[in-house]
Amino acid sequence: MAPDNTCDHVCGAHQQRREKASTRVEIEARPPIDAPRKGDSQLPIRLRRLRVQRTDGKIITLLTNDLARAAVDIATLYKARWQIELLFRWIKQHLRIRRFLGNNDNAIRLQIFAAMIAYALLRIAARRHCVKLPILRFTDLVALCLFERRHLGAIEKPPLVNPGRRQCQTSQNQLSFGYV
């Protein structure tokens, strides 16, 4: 299991991760310290393996390079980290930010704020016009019909074929003649 940053061990930063099925560990001492293996090379970082029972009863295995903290504290840190991961997943799904356009903090903040404002406006419009569509479908339809004059309450209905042209008043079952 390769660390995100190689200076983590030197700088004093700590990591908490779930153990993957493909992670091979070599036990150096019992109980808490394992040396991970990735491929054929052995990493020089000592890790601790924890088994934590979640509130739904499932047991997850965590790996950490924090050898001093209590297991409860590490589980709490992992849960907080997981909430941040869920936030990023929500941002990717709902705000449709796949990549950031700028590299500095201000550009990233502006892009997130603009996406959040657009999302909030779409939610307000959907609620005001009693749209029953899922918000992601509604967002797609608004993006498709952005430059058309359409009522938001009927955005999921197909547009009229040619609204300026008068429709034929005769029945489809009636025969009609036309000049060539």
Q: Locate 127 and state its tokens.
A: 């609620």
Res 158 pLDDT > 60: yes
Among 136, 135, 131, 134, which residue's Cα sits nearest to residue 155? 131
pLDDT band at 117 (very low <50, low <70, confident <90, very high): very high
pLDDT at position 155 is: 80
pLDDT band at 2 (very low <50, low <70, confident <90, very high): very low
DSSP-assigned beta bridge partners for residue 64: 16, 48
Among 14, 9, 39, which residue's Cα sits nearest to residue 24? 39
pLDDT tens column, 37-72: 556 556 667 788 888 888 888 888 888 888 888 888
Across 79-91, average pLDDT: 88
Give the 3-state secondary structure of residue 12.
coil
Res 108 pLDDT > 80: yes
Distance CA 29, CA 13 (A): 22
pLDDT at position 4 is: 45
pLDDT at position 137 is: 87
